[in-house]
Structure 1
Amino acid sequence: MNRILLQIVAVGVFFAVGQALQCYECKIGFWNLCITKKVMCAQGERCFSGKGKAARFVDISMKGCLAVNDCNKTYDVNFPSTSNSTLYKITKTCCNSNLCNAAPGVSSSAMVVTTIFALLFAHIMV
């Protein structure tokens, strides 16, 4: 009896994990640079890609998971949050399949390797 119960629980966990949506996440990126990692969304969330402008001229981007009710909207982010001074404006567009919010901009490991080579090259040139 315990064996059957354990198998039922295992199958339930398998289906619960199998239905989680995997997305790229980038807290904030500037121009075309966005350091990403893969994350699992919670139930009721979708992947999103956000594009916007900071200070009216700097391109910014975001990626991650977003509640379905917050999808496909434009947001003004103010600083401080109670003021009328807009820090940046961003439009968040959602999609509903694994890793659908675009390929990673720059992975953190690629950024580390690039930095190391740049430092070595600068040291050689000096």
Structure 2
Amino acid sequence: MSKLLWSCAALFTLFVTVEALSCYSCNVKILGYCLIEKAVNCTEAQDRCFVAVAKFSSDLLDIHERGCTERSKCINSSGSILNVKYTITETCCSNNLCNAAAAPPLTLTAALAAALVAVWSQWGL
């Protein structure tokens, strides 16, 4: 009886389909912050979600990216392009939708609110 149960369990696992990992991908970014996130299904080989930030030694804005990747590509790197040094920091995780964007810092929110107040007072709204 025990062999029959184990055989049924083994047969059942052959028919169970593994669902792909889901990660956030950022479609619209402004000043390094994601405005529109979209959940995407990763391919079978992509077993990690990632958040990557590229920082430059010059006055260039940081580049932020998120999506699906393979475990072997979850590495940090550095180098230079046309004498501009950069570092890429990549953070990976393996749970569904684990790479959600963080809320913008309060300083950015305060700056946007101050700009809106200035525009409203200028136009007399």
Q: TM-score, normalised by structure 1?
A: 0.53
State which of 69, 73, 78 in structure 1 corresponds to 2:76. Answer: 73
SS of equivalent residue, structure 1 residue 69? helix
Q: Which has the larger radius of gyration?
A: 2
CA contact (8 A) 1:32 1:105 kept: no
- Rate the CA distance shift 1:77–1:42 in 2: closer, same or farther, 3 A: farther
**Is 1:25 the equivalent of 2:25?**
yes
- Alpha-carbon separation, structure 2, partners of 1:92 and 1:30: 20
Maintained 8 Å contact 1:23/1:41: yes
| Equivalent pair of 1:21/1:97 in contact (CA under 8 Å) | yes
The answer for the alignment partner of 2:51 in structure 1 is 49
Q: In percent, how many aligned pairs have the same letter?
A: 33
C-alpha separation in 1, matches of 2:89 and 2:30: 15
Kept after mapping to 2: 8 A contact 1:44/1:68: no
Contact 2:58–2:84, Cα closer than 8 Å, also in 1 = no
Q: How much is the aligned-residue C-alpha RMSD, in angstroms?
A: 3.7
1:63 paired to 2:66: yes
* Aligned counterpart, 2:39: 38
Q: What is the identity, as a one-letter code, of the residue corresponding to 2:43?
A: A
Deviations 1:15-64 (A, max 9, x none): 23x2x110011268454422321111112321000122246342321101
* Separation in 2, partners of 1:29, 1:76: 24
- Count matched residues: 94
5 Å matches for 1:79-118? 84-86=82-84, 88-103=86-101
